[in-house]
Structure 1
Amino acid sequence: MNKTLAAALALGAGLLAGCTVNGPGTLRLHEALLYGAAQERIVWVYGSLGSGAQGSLKLGGAAVELRPQVRDPLALAGTLSVNGQATYRQPTTALTPKLAVTRDTLGRFNVTFNEARGAVYYTDGRGWTRVNGVQGAGLTGTPVSGLRGAGNLTDAEADALGGALLNQGTLAVAVLNEATVPDARLTAEPAPAEYRRTALYLLPGVPTVAAGPAPAPVTPAPPTAGGRVPVTELASGTNAAQTAPAVQLAATPGALGTLYRVAYGNQTGAPPVPTLRAGETVVGVFLGQRPTGGYSVRVTGASGQGETLTLTVEVRAPGAGAITTQALTSPWTLVRVPGNFRDVRLVDPSGRPLQLGTGGGLTR
């Protein structure tokens, strides 16, 4: 696992270029300790620089530079940059597994949490849900903004951290007892007026398991004029049994079953395979194995000409310094379109041909 996020901040005695922070009473430190799939400590430094353009503080005895905040998804109002970064980041200590979660096709959760300190959150990679219970089977969930209500995070911190953890596939986040985690509170000079700690355990690759009968099939709409084709996402995820990039097409129920086995082959359960009606085609787009979370693929449009289907595909990758789950992933998406097609062409949102890599194939 990658250990990359920060552990120590202290507003310090050492002044840089004759500038200082506006008094130690302005200093506040808020830290998020991440365990499990991401072993990082993230510290926000709140304070002001007064009339100076920079200042310093001591973190564990080492001076760090404070300047006005930089542009970054984790930069928050009232915070200062630390050594040129929005937050101060160091690795955290590895923990034994704390959490097991599954989600069924009706949106209910089974949660086993061996350190029941606080709430459990879930994301499908696009939005967040707070599970209505810390432990048990058949738990429902409530949509929330980011990780609001988690530990001692402010709403702004919860939104920023929740946003940084999106687009990494299914993920569960549980609040730990910050007083019992192995990473101690940071020493800070001068002592801050406020010091908040929130400890979180991250579990990637939450599987979806079948629950109840498959939904009734929907009659597809025909292609619209001008070659445009309506496209419906059937499912997506980040843990396919596919190591190389591939595009696979299914025009029969048997081929669709094969697609679902590839998509869900690395998890313990899978939803029922939907009915494939006459005159429909399902396409699977697989990015192949990636070294971390933060990668995703989505089909945003489709058009058809003869037996060739063109899909507009958006591929995302983590940016420099992004918070990513440190586990191998294999992002994928399955889409349904009306019409009979034998070939698939991919383009990016600007219309340029998109090559996922070698290893593609068609399954009919």
Structure 2
Amino acid sequence: MRKITICLVLSILTIFACSATGRKTIPDGPVAYTVILSGSHSSADKYEVKLVTTKKDWENTWQIAKGGEEPLPGIPSVDFSHQNVIAVFMGQRSSSGYKIEISSIEKKGAVLRVHVKKYETPGMLTVMTNPFTLVRVPRGKYELEVIEETVQ
């Protein structure tokens, strides 16, 4: 009887140990993020906000962000076992002065509310721009809810 009890306890402990992933769940509320890169010359031709969760998707996103630069600059390291990337692309604009940024991120359940500020103040230069911002956030299976604010 004692051997059965010990086996049962060890089995339960093993199940709990195997199910623990070592990943922390972030609490609801403001989410800390780090800007990887922000600029005005990507190759994105339309507005898009996306969650990047894999290395392959990150490589594709980096190529878009760097606008087809030759040679392509080295890609920043992202540890996808602990982090995701949120990419915000404004799309093509016909003059300087445009900018896009993430002003804050909040978590509520499985949703990340991404507050995006779009600066739409056409500049004096007639030049094609494609503003973007890339940020690191803690890893998770999130749906994105985008809240836009336009500054003119």
TM-score norm. by structure 1 comes to 0.32
Aligned residues: 126
Cα displacement (A) at 1:280: 1.1
Gapped regions of structure 2 (runs ≥ 5): 1-23
How far the C-alpha of 1:237 sits from its partner, in A, is 1.1
Q: Which residue of 1 aligns with 2:147?
A: 347
Give 1:247 deviation, angstroms.
1.4
Q: Tell me the amino acid that sits aligned with residue 337 of structure 1.
A: V
What is the CA–CA distance in structure 1 between the aligned matches of 2:141 and 2:103, rounded to whole Å?
18
Please list the CA deviations of residues 69-120 of structure 1 after superposition, one character each: whole Å capped at 9, or x if unmatched. Answer: xxxxxxxxxxxxxxxxxxxxxxxxxxxxxxxxxxxxxxxxxxxxxxxxxxxx
- The equivalent residue for 1:275 is 77
- The superposition leaves residues 217-260 of structure 1 with CA deviations (integer Å, 9 ceiling, x where unpaired) of xxxx974x542210111001111111111112211111111110
CA–CA distance in 2 between the matches of 1:269 and 1:294? Answer: 26
1:238 aligns with 2:40: yes
Task: Quote the residue 2:124 is aligned against.
Answer: 324
* From 88, 94, 102, the counterpart of 1:285: 88
**Alpha-carbon displacement from aligned partner over 1:31-85 (angstroms, at most 9, x marks no partner):** xxxxxxxxxxxxxxxxxxxxxxxxxxxxxxxxxxxxxxxxxxxxxxxxxxxxxxx
Q: Which runs of 4+ in 1 moved over 6 A?
A: none
Name the aligned partner's letter for residue 309 of structure 1. L
**Structure 1 residue aligned with 2:109:** 306
CA RMSD of superposed structures (Å): 2.2
8 Å Cα contact 1:318/1:324 also seen in 2: no
Deviation, 1:343, is 2.0
Structure having the higher Rg = 1
Residues 23-38 of structure 1 correspond to what in structure 2 (within 5 A)? none
8 A Cα contact 2:28 2:108, kept in partner: no
Aligned to 2:63: 261
Unpaired stretches in structure 1, ≥5 consecutive residues: 1-220, 355-364
Listed one character per residue, the Cα deviations across residues 282-333 of structure 1 (whole Å, up to 9, x for unaligned) are 01100101111110001121112233211111110116xxx42211111111
TM-score by length of 2: 0.73
- State the one-letter code of the partner of 2:36: L
Larger RCO, structures 1/2 (Cα 8 Å, 6+ apart)? 2
| Whole-Å separation in 2 of the counterparts to 1:264 and 1:280 | 21
Distance 2:82 2:131 in 1: 27
Separation in structure 2 between the aligned mates of residue 240 and residue 331 of structure 1, nearest angstrom:
6
Which residue of 29, 33, 40 maps to 1:227?
Answer: 29
Q: Quick one: structure 1 residues 310 and 269, their matched pair in 2 at CA, closer, same or farther if it must change by over 3 Å?
A: farther
Q: Distance in 1 between matches of 2:110 and 2:124?
A: 39
Q: Deviations over 1:331-359 (max 9, x none)?
A: 1110110131342111136xxxx8xxxxx
